[in-house]
Structure formats: C-alpha cells, structure tokens
Amino acid sequence: MLKVLGLGNALVDLIFQIDDDQILKKFSLPKGSMTLVDSKKAKKILKVTEGLQYQIAAGGSASNTIDGLAKLGIQSGYIGKIGKDRYGDLFEKELVSKHIHPNLLYGKNPTGTAITLLSKDAERTFATYLGAAVEMEADELNEEQFTGYSFFHIEGYLVQNHDLILKAVNLAKKAGLTISIDMASFTTVDANKDFLLDIVKNYVNIVFANEEEARSFTGENPKKAARIISEYCDIAVVKIGEEGSIIHEGLRSIIVPGIKADLKDTTGAGDLYAAGFLYGLSNGYDLELCGKIGSILGGKVIEVYGARLKDQSWIDIKGEIIRLLR
C-alpha cells in the first residue's frame, strides 16, 4: 500500500453555529468563502460569538484529508507549522494519535485558527487567522521530508505562498510523487489564477475542485470545467454537491452520484472526498470506484458538525467500501 504526504496550513477549527447571517455582513465575510483575517479581527469575531455552541478540533484542509486517509489505514505524513501553545499541542497530539507522521515546524506566532461560522442552511464561512502557519517558508522544505511517499497532497489555500508551493512541487516531482491539489476556495482561485494554471500544467497530476472553484478557474459549468482542467493534468475531479462528482481523464468522463445524507454541516466534505478518492488510487482501484468511495466519505461527514468523524462512522464507512468491492 502506498503512502501519502500532505502539506497545509496547520489550523485548529473553532466551529460556531450561528442563528442568522448578520455576523457575516458585520465582518464582510462572503458566505461560503474563506477570508483571511488578522489577529485583531479574529478576536473581534470570537467576542461576538461568545455564548454560541461550538466545537474545537485540529483542522486545515490537507490535515482533514490526511486524517481521513489515516483512518482508512493509509500510512500518512503531514507538513505544517504551529505555534508553541495549547492549540499547537492539540494539533500535534491529534496527528500522533492517528499514527500520522508529524513533520511539524514551529513559528513565532500563535497556532492558526479557522473560525467556522455555520449557517442554518449548513453552509460554512471561514474567517481564518493563519498565525504560525503563514510563517512556513520554502527553505524549510527538503528532500528528506518527501522520501518514502508515493502521493503528495496540497491544499489550495497555500498557493498564496508562491515560493513555498514551487519548492514543494519541485521536490515532490523530483521524488517521483503523484501530486494532487484541492483548489480549496473560489476566492483563492480568483486571486491566484495565473499561478494555479502554471502549477497545474507543469506539476500537478490530480485536481480537486468544487463547482464554484471550477467556474472561477475556467469560467465554465462543471462538466465543461472538468474537461478543460483535465487538459492541463491527468485527472480532474469537480464536486457538484449532492449530485456527486464529475471525473475527467483524457477522453473519458465519469459522473459519480452522491449518496443520500442528512445534511448538517458541509465543513470537510471536499477534504474527505479527496481522502476517499486518494485511498482508492493508492489501492489501484478504477476511477469510478475512487469517486464512489469519495462520495461515501463526503456524504458521511456532512451528517456531523465539523470535519472529523467518530470511530463508529469509520466502521460504517469501511463496511460500505467492502460492499463496493464485492
């Protein structure tokens, strides 16, 4: 079985259920997007959310994907940067507890936080304070960190750090790794479109995007977007919510339906889909089966609050995967 390495913003998720969307307007947070905020603004948002029901867990897009892979039995590693504080301790302990190799760096700023504001319609809006995560630099990456892995997964939020991403994909390509990227947010795509296009064309093998990200990248509807993106890489996956996903490779297009789910929170749906898809690829499964496993994971996680599933859910998921393989 092949090993997967992730690179991402090491964040701790603080997930709040909000009664209405006025708080989004108050802090100019586009609904459904990820907005970077400074420490001062993050504290103001947290002040307003005092008293609301919330959850706390290690997070970050790539971290969620790697966590899912580890739960499915894939040997995994993770590169990220944290602060020397209680949130950093929480993040590291979660990696170790899942048997994920923690290749963690330490910054001067506090560990980053992703304040997730969950609307009543289950849409989530992120106000992200990157903290120590943003301090990660290209010269902190080296060949040894990539040794022994077969897949390298990047979260799109990192593409704002062009030097870091270029160093990472060069090291991964030199080591012979299959490279995947999740575009992460339409706002990130809009701000880094030219750079993303260059990275995808020259380094990336697999692209994951949701409908909005795919439209931002190509200007087209999901089906056309999947075809266009696949012209730049080997495999393009466009996720279309409850309708499932479109997988395009060469001249082949596959539509994989979503699974029926009791929607509570969309946080982590794309991350867990990627985990299921990469799990399938690491086992040599065909693309349709990879997509079906991705749909199972993505469907299960939207039935809970947050991006981390409990042990019973993983038992159920493994049972569903076994049934698919029969």
47 occurs within a structural domain: no
Q: What is the pLDDT of residue 1?
A: 63
263 occurs within a structural domain: yes
26 occurs within a structural domain: no
129 occurs within a structural domain: no
Residue found under tokens 């708080």:
23
Instruction: Say which CATH number the domain at 144 has.
Output: 3.40.1190.20
Q: Domain range for residue 310? A: 4-9+61-109+135-325
pTM of the model: 0.90
DSSP H helices, 131-265, are 143-146, 162-174, 186-191, 193-202, 211-218, 222-230
**How many independent structural domains does the chain possess?**
1
Q: What is the pLDDT of residue 35?
A: 87
Instruction: Measure the CA–CA gap between 52 and 299, rounded to whole angstroms.
Output: 26
What's at 264, amino acid-wise?
Answer: K
17 occurs within a structural domain: no
Q: Which mean pLDDT values do the consecutive 10-residue runs of the chain (326 residues) have?
A: 92 90 92 88 91 87 96 97 95 95 95 91 88 95 97 94 97 98 91 95 97 96 96 97 94 93 85 97 96 96 86 93 92
Q: Would residue 203 be called left, alpha or beta, if left means φ above 0 and alpha means ψ between -120 and 50 degrees?
A: alpha
147 occurs within a structural domain: yes
36 occurs within a structural domain: no
Q: Which long-range contacts (CB under 8 A, 24 or more apart) does 137-143 make?
A: 137/163, 137/164, 138/163, 138/164, 138/166, 138/167, 138/168, 139/167, 140/81, 140/105, 141/79, 141/167, 141/168, 141/171, 142/171, 143/171, 143/174, 143/175
Q: What is the pLDDT of residue 121?
A: 87
242 occurs within a structural domain: yes
